[in-house]
Amino acid sequence: MGLASGVRFDYSEHVLAAQAALLKKYKRIRSVEVAVSDRLQLSDAALNFAARSIGFRERGEGLYAHKDASVLIELATYHHRLRSKTVIERFFEKAKPAVGTDEHLVLTAMMNSPVTLLLLGEAVPGIGVHVEDLLFVGNLFLADIPLSKRKKKDEKVIVTRRLVFDDFVMTPCTSYLDFDPELARMMAKGLQNESALPMAERYTSVEAKAELATDMMEMALCSIESVRESLVERFAVSGV
């Protein structure tokens, strides 16, 4: 049945309304995630665990002043386990957030967040950027206001933890690290060729997730030359 005479849909207004709704939801979810993260209590043991996992020699309070402290805090938050549970899982059990609340959504996303490599694509100014997940394969929308303002000159890949919601994904408040695009493709291709199992099935155990996160973070902090040598040796390739 055709449209009634004189009735018109302004698709641009529809798109703008959808974008405004997504931005509003993102800001709400982000504020909850920041508040939850501020309430998580990391122990010195957790931070030392993170430091050891990527080869840092410092210990104790000095780690909080380290230039890469955000990396250590993220690894400690998501992968250090006390009595088999992370600080997020212990917080979830204590808080008992009601299903459907923003706190429940955020904590669930945090507990199930994989570390991956995202190739940044077209930006939606003021909201986020379309991305390609190089490791787990798929096109996603990353809600991130600062990244939406980036002037697209060169390719940009980031290594980040992916918090997944119904209509967007976002980075954790500890942010992300840049990753060389050439090495990102080499890493993605090597991992995918390493096993017949899909990536999502290979990285389901807590041990595998922690190993992948540590490897990704450590490589992002190392020199391009050393990472390239390591990947060539691991995957027995000469390039991408």
pLDDT tens track, the chain, 240 positions: 444 444 554 558 888 899 999 999 999 999 999 999 999 998 888 888 888 888 776 565 556 556 778 888 899 999 999 999 999 999 999 999 999 999 999 999 999 999 999 999 999 999 999 999 999 979 999 999 999 998 877 899 999 999 999 999 999 987 799 999 999 999 999 999 988 999 989 999 999 999 999 999 999 999 999 999 999 998 876 544
Collapsing DSSP states into helix, strand and coil, what is residue 164?
A: strand
Burial class of residue 96 in the structure, from the number of CB atoms within 10 Å of its CB (0-12 exposed, 13-18 middle, 19+ buried): exposed
Residue recorded with tokens 């890493």: 187
Domain boundaries, the chain: 12-235
Q: In what order do the strands lie in the sheet with 169-170?
A: 163-164, 169-170, 138-143, 128-133, 115-124, 157-161, 177-179
Q: What local confidence, expressed as pLDDT, does residue 64 receive?
A: 59
Q: Is 202 in a helix, a strand, or coil?
A: helix
Helix spans in 69-160 (H): 69-79, 87-95, 102-111, 145-148
Give the whole-angstrom CA distance, residue 43 versus residue 58: 15
Distance between CA 171 and CA 194 in Å, rounded?
27
